[in-house]
Structures are given as C-alpha cells and as structure tokens.
Chains A and B, each alone.
Chain A
Amino acid sequence: DQQVKQNSPSLSVQEGRISILNCDYTNSMFDYFLWYKKYPAEGPTFLISISSIKDKNEDGRFTVFLNKSAKHLSLHIVPSQPGDSAVYFCAASASLLTNTGNQFYFGTGTSLTVIP
C-alpha cells in the first residue's frame, strides 16, 4: 500500500510561470518530508526538505508547503526554467532521531516539463 502518493504523473508549464507539484501521504507518523529531482540516467538529487514543526520552507526558487491536517505537501518552483525539466519525487520519513536509520517512503514521481 503506497504511503506516499503523487497522483499527477506529468506536468507541463511555460517557462517563467509557477510549477506546483503535489504529494499526499497516509501515515500520520511521518514528520520529515523531502523533495528530490531526477534527471535521466542519474540518481535522485536532494532538493529541499521540511519537518513537521514547520508549514513552509523556502530555498531560492523552491518552496515546500506542508499541510499536516490534510496530509498534503506541495513544491512550488517560481519562476520555472527549462533546466527544471526532470522527474520530481517526494519522500517521507518517521523521525530522524532513531538509531536504525529510518525508512524513507517515496512517491511514484511527477515528470515536469518546462516549455521554453
């Protein structure tokens, strides 16, 4: 059973506009959330994270929003650039404070295409 869901397999956006990628989770124990970006033939690259004590985290053009009551997070990219075209994965984990390394659960990914 998928605990982290990305219901949009693909998204196309014009260059300069906002890209909004969505992610839903089912496990209320999750308290740490991440977004990764993946280009073909490469491994995922960490983009941005947020802990459950916050509802927003911003890093340059990238902002992640967390709505705990809805079990929903989103990644906003403003402005979108052609180099942002990639597959984006959201991931979730239940606490970083254990000794066993934590299991991270990933969504199925959203393929973003930014059209020049």
Chain B
Amino acid sequence: DAGITQSPRHKVTETGTPVTLRCHQTENHRYMYWYRQDPGHGLRLIHYSYGVKDTDKGEVSDGYSVSRSKTEDFLLTLESATSSQTSVYFCAIRDSNQPQHFGDGTRLSIL
C-alpha cells in the first residue's frame, strides 16, 4: 500500500464551523490531490498540489482552501462548513508519470 494516511477518518460537525482534513504521505511524491465522492457524481477534484506551496483549483473548489507547507502534508480546509459539503473525501498522491494512489477516505457529515 502507498503510504497515505488521512485524518480524521470520520467527523461530524455543525454548519458554520471550520473543518480541516489532513493528508499525510510517506512516499515523498510531488503531487497531491483532494477529491470528494458523492452519489451520482463519482470522484470530483477539489484542489491539487504540484509542490510545496504550489496549489491549483479543481472543478469543485468553491468553499474549500488548501495548504501544503511540507512535501508530506496536504491540508483541506472548509472555512465555514455547509450541509452540501457532507461527503466522503479522498486524498491521492502521485509521482511523476505514475497513476494516483488513494487514501482510505474521510467521511464528513455536516449537520
């Protein structure tokens, strides 16, 4: 298994609260990604990173921010959580010219 750890694995929170999800890798891969998975939508890219402090938006980035201050950590923040952000969130990592490898996901419920 690729060395990817997502934390927390499960979280329940209330609308309007800030939430931060963490993705940690031990592979020293350059690229890191955050996706959300929702029924009927498959996996949709939120943000990705191509190096320390280098990030870009994906197709569903509104309401999310990311930071990557170290190669091994990629943080996803919901500044003010909304019920529409209830989802399963997956982190992925990738080395150059290789496929992505995914973590086991974080199930986030916003009440």
Contact = CB atoms under 8 A, between A and B. Distances in A.
A43 interface: yes
Interface of chain B: mostly helix, strand, loop or mixed: strand
Interface stretch (B13-21, B75-83, B96-104): B96-104
A96 interface: yes
Nearest to B98: A96
A29 interface: no
A108 B104 contact: no
Interface in A73-116: 89, 91, 96-97, 99-109
Interface string B43-69: 111001110000010110000000000
Given A49-B99, A101-B50, A43 B30 contact: no
A34 B65 CA distance: 27
B42 A103 contact: no
B42 A107 contact: yes
Interface of A: 4, 6, 34, 36, 41-46, 49, 89, 91, 96-97, 99-109
